[in-house]
Amino acid sequence: MKTVVLAQVLSNKAISGDIGDIYDMTVKAPQIADNAVAGQFVGIYADRDSLLLPRPISICEIEADKGILRFVYQKIGKGTEYFSKLKACDSIKILGPSGNGYMLNDNISEHIIVGGGIGIPPLLELTKRLKGKKSAVLGFRSSSFLVDEFKKYADDVYIASDDGSVGFKGNAVELLKSLKIKGKMIYSCGPRAMLRSLSIYAHQEGIPCQVSMEERMACTIGACVGCSIKIKNDDDWIYKKVCKDGPVFDSEEVIWE
What is the rounded CA–CA span in Å between residue 68 and residue 250?
Answer: 29
Sequence spans of domains, the chain: 3-98, 110-250
pLDDT at 84: 94
What is the rounded CA–CA span in Å between residue 26 and residue 96?
Answer: 15
Domain formed by 110-250, architecture:
3-Layer(aba) Sandwich (3.40)
Domains 3-98 and 110-250 agree in fold: no
Residue range 107-125: mean pLDDT, rounded: 97
The answer to whether residue 217 scores a pLDDT higher than 90 is no
pLDDT at 50: 62
The answer to whether residue 20 scores a pLDDT higher than 60 is no
Q: What is the pTM of this model?
A: 0.95
Residue range 12-28: mean pLDDT, rounded: 83
Q: What is the CA radius of gyration of the chain?
A: 18
The answer to whether residue 257 scores a pLDDT higher than 60 is yes
What is the rounded CA–CA span in Å between residue 134 and residue 100?
Answer: 22
**Per-residue confidence band for 143, with pLDDT thresholds at 50, 70 and 90:** confident
What is the rounded CA–CA span in Å between residue 228 and residue 77?
Answer: 22
Residue range 81-103: mean pLDDT, rounded: 96
Q: Which helix (H) or strand (E) holds 151?
A: helix 147-153
**Per-residue confidence band for 49, with pLDDT thresholds at 50, 70 and 90:** low
Residue range 18-44: mean pLDDT, rounded: 92
Domain formed by 3-98, architecture:
Beta Barrel (2.40)
pLDDT at 17: 53
Residue range 77-104: mean pLDDT, rounded: 96
Residue range 172-185: mean pLDDT, rounded: 96
pLDDT at 21: 86
